[in-house]
DNA sequence: CCTCCACCGGAACGTGAGGAGT
DNA sequence: ACTCCTCACGTTCCGGTGGAGG
């Protein structure tokens, strides 16, 4: 008896559609500036801001803002590739330090990373420093002081690090060797971040800002089309499919990453179904699959206290009680007690609820009732059913799955 | 126009885990 | 093993909030 599924069958259908799948994987990066489409204006402004480098002067600080998936990071990287190449041609000393604040969050770690990248005079070995912040700060200033060229520090995902003071110190560390101050390029998707800086810093850091505009559906279609040419075999992706992917992504803030993901998963869906080309239906299925994956992933990785808070939200949502924080906290306490987890204060739980809001799992609004005070109401839970199923996969919460939730709702 | 509701959310502080140097 | 430090997570305290009702 031969097995119903054989590896050779799978391999035979493999890669009928894809030519080079790498190009539509999430971690694929474009090679050069010329591959970046529909960003001419942004590139022009960027170069304009940075041209001082070629006069031997530090550029002004730049604040780059744009929603996720618009290519802020890749644009910046490619811009600096070009700038570094040109600086080398003209024998200008330029040091660009890239830091992703999502990976390196703390002030201390960022400073350590910068020190690690800064060259020592005459390549002396780096000093070993204790764990003290002051020592790192002093050493940082010392290294900058002796560096004879221009220093540019790119802080990507700046909103993930809380470090106004550190930035302040960086841009005030003048080098005696060159007379220049280091420049900071801050990249973020949080436009409100500017306002979190103290005024003196705001005016210095945000001297120049560069707003990366979302792509419209037409531009997205161009970008997708360019990828399709390399990633897929000819005549596999009809133009309606490209338009559809573009339209969906344009709807979500013109996010390129999403549109490429959608294209890849559509291709995979079509492949599984043994289609000879991608159909519109495949795109729709891919879209819901991506959506599900996203929710499950987010909910799964929540800390247990957040999970309990979310669970309380869902229970209250399905009950006759109002969806106010106070009620949710009431249910939260009972669940936490029942599953044997520390019961937090209401203050802390409201923070957890705001975090869920920021993650896009729940939506809440403040309601002002005049003399009857103020309250916050959860108005929406995204994919409630799916979220609930995912919550029950947690070991600590499994026991609640088959119990009626209404037993909590007694006054 | 003023008061005052009742919770929100900012700020400051406390604590223990954990990393790095000695 | 011990010291020093950072940082995430929590708590306590309290000023802020918009508008219904006087």
pLDDT at A339: 87
Q: How far is CA A193 from the centre of its chain?
A: 15
pLDDT at A252: 77
Residues A290-301: tens digit of each pLDDT: 888 888 888 888
- In this structure, are residues A164 and A198 in contact, taking their beta carbons and an 8 Å threshold? yes
pLDDT at A90: 92
Residues A201-212: tens digit of each pLDDT: 666 776 788 888
pLDDT at A48: 92
- Per the DSSP assignment, residues forming a β-bridge with A153 are A97, A184
Whole-prediction pTM: 0.74
> Which residue has the least CA–C1' distance to nucleotide B6?
A373
Contact between the CB of A129 and strand B at under 7 Å: yes
Q: Which pairs count as long-range contacts for A201-208, CB under 8 Å and 24+ apart, including other chains?
A: A201/A164, A201/A167, A201/A168, A204/A61, A204/A171, A205/A61, A205/A63, A205/A167, A205/A171, A206/A61, A206/A63, A207/A60, A207/A61, A207/A62, A208/A49, A208/A60, A208/A61, A208/A62, A208/A63
Please give the mean pLDDT across all residues of chain A.
Answer: 82
How many whole angstroms separate alpha carbon A355 and alpha carbon A362?
9
Nucleotide nearest to A364 (CA to C1'): B8
Nucleotides of B under 7 A from a protein CB: 3-11, 19-22
For chain A, which ranges sit under pLDDT 50?
none
pLDDT at A47: 92
Diameter of chain A measured on Cα atoms: 81
Interstrand relation of A374-381 and A362-368 (parallel, antiparallel or unpaired): antiparallel
Nucleotide nearest to A109 (CA to C1'): C6
Nucleotides of C under 7 A from a protein CB: 4-13, 16-21
pLDDT at A17: 76
The residues of A between 298 and 327 with beta carbon within 7 Å of nucleic strand B are 324-326
The Å distance, CA of A176 to C1' of C16, is 48
pLDDT at A165: 65
């Amino acid at each position: 008896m031969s097995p119903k599924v054989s590896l050779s069958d799978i391999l035979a259908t493999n890669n009928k559609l894809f030519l080079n799948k790498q190009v539509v994987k999430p971690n694929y990066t474009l090679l050069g500036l010329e591959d970046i489409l529909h960003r001419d204006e942004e590139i022009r402004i960027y170069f304009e801001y940075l041209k001082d480098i070629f006069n031997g002067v530090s550029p002004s600080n730049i604040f780059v803002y744009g929603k996720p998936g618009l290519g802020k990071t890749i644009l910046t990287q490619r811009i600096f590739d070009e700038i570094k190449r040109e600086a080398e041609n003209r024998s200008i000393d330029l040091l660009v330090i890239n830091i992703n604040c999502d990976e390196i969050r703390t002030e201390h770690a960022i400073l350590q990373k910068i020190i690690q990248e800064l060259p020592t005079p005459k390549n002396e070995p780096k000093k070993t420093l204790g764990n003290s912040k002051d020592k790192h700060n002093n050493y940082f200033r010392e290294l900058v002081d002796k560096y004879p060229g221009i220093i540019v520090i790119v802080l990507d995902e700046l909103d993930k690090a809380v470090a106004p003071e550190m930035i302040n110190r960086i841009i005030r560390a003048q080098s005696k060797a060159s007379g220049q101050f280091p420049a900071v390029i801050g990249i973020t998707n949080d436009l409100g971040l500017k306002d979190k800086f103290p005024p003196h810093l705001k005016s210095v850091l945000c001297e120049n800002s560069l707003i990366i505009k979302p792509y419209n559906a037409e531009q997205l279609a161009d970008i997708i089309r360019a990828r399709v040419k390399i990633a897929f075999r000819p005549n596999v992706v009809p133009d309606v499919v490209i338009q559809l992917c573009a339209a969906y992504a344009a709807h979500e803030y013109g996010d390129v990453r999403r549109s490429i993901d959608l294209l890849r998963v559509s291709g995979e869906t079509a492949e599984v179904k043994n289609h000879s080309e991608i159909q519109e239906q495949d795109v729709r299925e891919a879209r819901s699959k991506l959506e599900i994956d996203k929710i499950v992933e987010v909910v799964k990785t929540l800390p247990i206290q957040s999970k309990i808070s979310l669970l309380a939200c869902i229970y209250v949502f399905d009950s006759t009680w109002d969806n106010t924080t106070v009620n949710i906290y009431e249910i939260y306490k009972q669940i936490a007690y029942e599953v044997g987890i520390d019961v937090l204060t209401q203050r802390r739980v409201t923070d957890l609820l705001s975090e869920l809001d920021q993650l896009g799992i729940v939506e809440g609004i403040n309601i002002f009732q005049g003399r009857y005070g103020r309250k916050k109401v959860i108005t929406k839970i995204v994919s409630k059913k799916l979220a609930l199923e995912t919550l029950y996969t947690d070991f600590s919460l499994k026991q609640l799955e088959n119990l009626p939730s209404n037993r909590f709702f007694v006054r």
